[in-house]
Every structure is written in C-alpha cells, then in structure tokens.
Amino acid sequence: MNMALYTRDFSGTGIKTPFDQMRANAMINAKHDVRGMSIINFNINAFLQQARHDDLYYILCQWAVEPIKRSPTKFKRHPEAGERALHKRAKALKNNFTGTPHIPDWLADTAADMMHRAIEEEMFALSPELKESHMNIA
C-alpha cells in the first residue's frame, strides 16, 4: 500500500490539527462519485466557517491531481486522455459547488481555476512532451 496517499505533509498551510488533517485527507481521497462529492461538501463547511480559503484551495488542488499520484504509469501512457479526464473531473466538482447554496460562486470559480492550473502543472511535470504539444497549439 502506498502510504504517501495517506500521510501528507501539510507544511506551509493552516492545516495543523489532526482533525483538520483528517478532514483534508478525506477530501483529497474522495472519489469522483456521489459519495465522494458528499464527503467534500460535508468537510468543506469546516474550512468555510473559519474563512480558510487558501487551505481549501490547496486541498481541492490536491484532490484534482490525486488520480495521477495513484496511477502515474497510466497517465504517462495516455497523457492527453488523462489530462482531459482530470479537467472533466474538476469541472464536475465546480458544477457540484455551483448547485450548493452554502458555497459562493466566486469560491467555486477560483477553486476551479486553481484546480485546472494544478492539473496542467502536474501533467507537465509528468510528461514534458505534453508541454511541447501545448506550446505548439498556442
């Protein structure tokens, strides 16, 4: 079992207490399904109530790139398809946030932008040739 998926270094964030770390890990490890979205929505309230938006953005960026960490060889073999799937996953989370009354639209938009940037950075680090193909498109 890859313990790196369960023990994370949250240095540089406001995620200090074991309870906050448990909430953050639950959100990061949440799957892209109804149960996973419900876990994220439930745990997001703790960070929203304390106005810890930077911590929340960090957690959501980690959630967005978690599939890369779980199976990097799959993403190395099919980088374009993997990147599309990750962006689709982040968009689904944003849509889920948009339909939730206690999450402001500006927070959902900012989180989505940051997740997309995190996905691109992680994919470029994993597959440098993907960066070249993006540069050729521009």
Q: What is the pLDDT of residues 11-38, one digit of tens each?
A: 778 888 888 888 888 898 888 888 888 8
Two tokens, residue 21: 């770390």
- Dihedral pair phi/psi, residue 78, rounded to 5°: -130, 70
Considering the entire predicted model, what is its pTM?
A: 0.81
For residue 10, tell me if it sits in a domain. no
Residue 67 makes CB contacts below 8 A (sequence gap 6+) with 75, 82, 85, 86, 89
pLDDT score for 43: 86
Our count of domains for the chain comes to 1
Residues of the chain with pLDDT under 70: 1-7, 129-138
Which residues span the domain enclosing 116?
16-137
Q: What angle do CA 109, 112, 9 make, to 5 degrees?
A: 125
For residue 5, tell me if it sits in a domain. no
Cβ–Cβ under 8 Å, residues 68 and 82: yes
pLDDT score for 59: 93
pLDDT score for 131: 57
For residue 4, tell me if it sits in a domain. no
For residue 21, tell me if it sits in a domain. yes
